[in-house]
Amino acid sequence: MANIFHLPTELSAEELFEPLVSGEAVLIERIISTGQTTPEGEWYDQERYEWVILLQGEAKLTYLDGSSISLQAGDYVLIPAHQKHRVEHTSAEPPCIWLAVHANLQPS
């Protein structure tokens, strides 16, 4: 058994990506952010849909078209495959705890 809110005693300067469940068609991971952002000029461009919920902290995502969304604990978003996006802000205190599901999903 594990607890999604149990954090390592020391968090590094790097974002922590922890695969929780993975298979041929899906990856579920916990991401812990402590102020990290996507490097300037870089964009995530993922092969599969990503459904992500922010469980703790505050964050901001920006899309290639210039639109952005601010997330607080409990907010979630479905990011389509190949929709370029970047992380513009993550809170350090409290750290951001994300739960991300990467799969071939469809919006409901």
Q: Which domains does the chain have, with CATH numbers?
A: 16-103 (2.60.120.10)
Task: Determine the average pLDDT of the residues in 31-41.
Answer: 95
* Cα–Cα distance, 66 to 58 (Å, whole number): 19
Query: Which residues contact residue 13 at a Cβ distance below 8 angstroms, ignoring those fewer than 6 apart?
Result: 34, 36
What per-residue confidence (pLDDT) applies to 105? 79
Strands of the chain, DSSP E? 16-22, 26-33, 49-56, 58-63, 68-72, 76-79, 85-90, 96-103
What per-residue confidence (pLDDT) applies to 45? 97
What per-residue confidence (pLDDT) applies to 19? 96
What does the pLDDT look like over 59-107, one tens digit per residue?
999 999 999 999 999 999 999 999 999 999 999 999 999 999 999 877 7
Is a pLDDT exceeding 80 seen at residue 11?
A: no
Is a pLDDT exceeding 80 seen at residue 108?
A: no
